[in-house]
Structure 1
């Protein structure tokens, strides 16, 4: 039977044969009653599934791990940030760093919402932690149409000098606006201008962000702004009118269908689906009203509505579907956070350099004396090494010329000698000048050993 197992169904048959064999062998002894389960298993035999179970892959015997006792490689998100920073700023590795801590928990006391910490000197690790903090920030966006009164308030000193510092100190939220048009750019008094407000916060303080949003809504409502219009979107479709469509729209609850997707559905006007309408309508307009964080649910709502009305999505006269517009998103990318932290780091280094120069000038003014600066010492060492190489090159040139003269070659015989570098050579030549080899007079031995060595 292959993989089928009928052994459980044969238990009753095997028990019956065993009892019969015992009765035959013990004819003189009173027969024993069958076990309690004998009758039950005869009436209710165990079942066996006739569907072949899926073949399970054979488990291979595990081999001894060769890297069992090697330590696990630890990786942290900050590792790549350190590689990027020190790869761009290798000279920061040469600066002295503070590695001592008071109780080993100094990192828990740091607030990386700012680069400079009270108990830690600014170094490359400060920039890395600051960048990691910026990458964790979240930005919440509010968009609405602002009139002249709202624009004047957003440009006012109260907004910049009172409201923004209040949100920063009390809620740990950065509040800023998009670029606003100047007063000369809009002339229509009743015209509305699209404005965006950005609230940047850290996810570890969600309760403070909620309080900040409530406070901001109160401030905007005080400037005669309808807060229900913030982040509000609208969308509309059209259905080809028919008696079946109108009957279905009258019987279904559009509000309940839209609520599943956080979208309000209404038929505008409702007279299009009323029976016995005076004016016939060719299409049925349906309006969608939702907030921008539910914009991604429009496509799903259209599919649900088409299935409810027994239509195809292509039968709906719809414009281009709205794109997803989340109202909350990461405030900084990796490159953006690195650029912001890098500029803050440069500003701190520039301030430190100015402080050192001012302190040096003040000390010199009061009569202090300082040794040569590192730049001066480096230039002196460079000059010293240059003179050593210059002397070595002069000796090499002289040795080359002596070697060329002893071998009888005429290399550089017409070139004048440097009177400064070859003073010894010139004096030796003056001593042996009357002595010319190959003449009748011959060559004297005076000075010849030096010249022809």
Structure 2
């Protein structure tokens, strides 16, 4: 935490001391005011308050009437016993945050769509009536429309759950998005019919870049495989010749006959067992072997 700084509290004393020492030509005008209204002497820092999460819902009463009520949930206390970030301001919590997170986790490509965030007056959402649907004057169709529509359903439709409101708003969004894409596709076809020429689409450009990267990777991988194969072949050839010479020397020194492969090379590994099996089968086929 460090030491406490009392500079602001002792500002009047400092000004008078400098005037007596003739470091300043005159007494500042605020000296008497600070004497009459001194700075606060409270040195205890208050812990920031926790902001509850507020939800508005509508329920059906036994008589058939409906009423709106407010649900308030306090944030959970940390499980650790250590006091960390005691004086850090606590984050504000809104119900829209969880709804927005759910929608964009299910539709991540909606974040890639270009959006105009510049507003003319900043009050477009004040005049929006989400009871009429997702289409609002001056507000383009986006994921935020789904969030606001779902929030309105949760606050005004009696006994509705979050998944039900999400399904209603999501299906309305799908219908409007299909209509918008169909309108754009028809407009593009009409423009081509009238002689318009469009360049490559974003998907075609990205696929071309991906193909170029794949071809570069394939050429690099072929070069690496060729170098590794050449290095391994050179290494194995040297070791094989050394092994052959060592086996021949051992055979001459010991005077024993080792199983030979068709090329005259001594059998190594599984070839020894294969030749031994052939020898056993020949012996078993002889007339006097029984």
Scaled by the length of structure 2, what TM-score is found?
0.50
The Cα shift of 1:408 comes to: 4.3
Q: Quick one: distance in 1 between partners of 2:139 and 2:217?
A: 45
Maintained 8 Å contact 1:404/1:410 = no
Partner of 1:358: 186
- Is the counterpart of residue 137 in structure 1 residue 137 in structure 2? no
Tell me the residue number matched to 1:389: 217
Aligned-pair distance for 1:382? 2.1
Question: Given that residues 135 and 334 in structure 1 are in contact (C-alpha distance below 8 angstroms), is that contact kept between their aligned partners in structure 2?
Answer: yes
Instruction: Tell me, yes or no, if structure 1 residue 372 matches structure 2 residue 200.
Output: yes
Looking at structure 2, the residues matched to 98 and 386 of structure 1 have their Cα atoms a distance apart, in angstroms, of 35
Partner of 2:163: 335
Q: Is the 8 A contact 1:137 1:331 kept in 2?
A: no
| Larger strand share, 1 or 2 | 1
Match of 2:137 in 1: 118
How much does 1:102 deviate? 1.8
Per the TM alignment, residue 122 of structure 1 is displaced from its structure 2 partner at its CA by 0.7
- Which stretches in structure 2 are left out of the alignment for 5+ residues? 1-42, 49-85, 240-290
Give how far 1:111 is off: 0.9
Tell me what 2:266 maps to.
Answer: none
Name which of 227, 230, 237 aligns with 1:409.
237
Q: Give 1:343 deviation, angstroms.
A: 0.1
Matched, 1:128 2:147: yes
Give the superposition deviation at 1:385: 1.5
- Whether the 8 Å CA contact 2:134–2:146 is kept in 1: the answer is yes
Q: Unaligned regions of 5+ residues in structure 1, if any?
A: 1-61, 139-329, 412-453
- CA distance in structure 2 between the partners assigned to 1:103 and 1:126 by the alignment: 19
- Indicate the structure (1 or 2) with the bigger Cα radius of gyration: 1
2:227 to 379, 395, 399: 399
**1:416-431 mapped onto 2 (5 Å cutoff):** none
> How far is the alpha carbon of 1:395 from its aligned partner?
0.6
**Retained in 1: the 8 A contact 2:124–2:139?**
no
Q: CA separation in 2, counterparts of 1:64 and 1:375?
A: 56
CA RMSD between the two structures:
2.3
Task: Note the alpha carbon deviations across 1:172-206, whole angstroms, 9 max, x for none.
Answer: xxxxxxxxxxxxxxxxxxxxxxxxxxxxxxxxxxx
Question: Higher helix share goes to which structure?
Answer: 2
Give the drift of 1:125.
Answer: 0.6
Alpha-carbon deviations, 1:68-125, whole Å to 9, x = none?
8643421112111111111111111111122122222211111111111121101111
Asked whether the 8 Å contact 1:135–1:332 carries over to 2, the reply is yes
The aligned residue for residue 113 of structure 2 is 95
Distance 1:137 1:408, change over 3 A: closer
More contact order relative to length (CA 8 Å, sep ≥ 6): 1
Cα deviation digits, residues 46-71 of structure 1 (max 9, x gap):
xxxxxxxxxxxxxxxx9754658643
Aligned to 1:46: none
Instruction: Tell me the alpha carbon deviations over residues 293-343 of structure 1, each in whole angstroms, 9 at most, x when there is no partner.
Output: xxxxxxxxxxxxxxxxxxxxxxxxxxxxxxxxxxxxx15221111100000
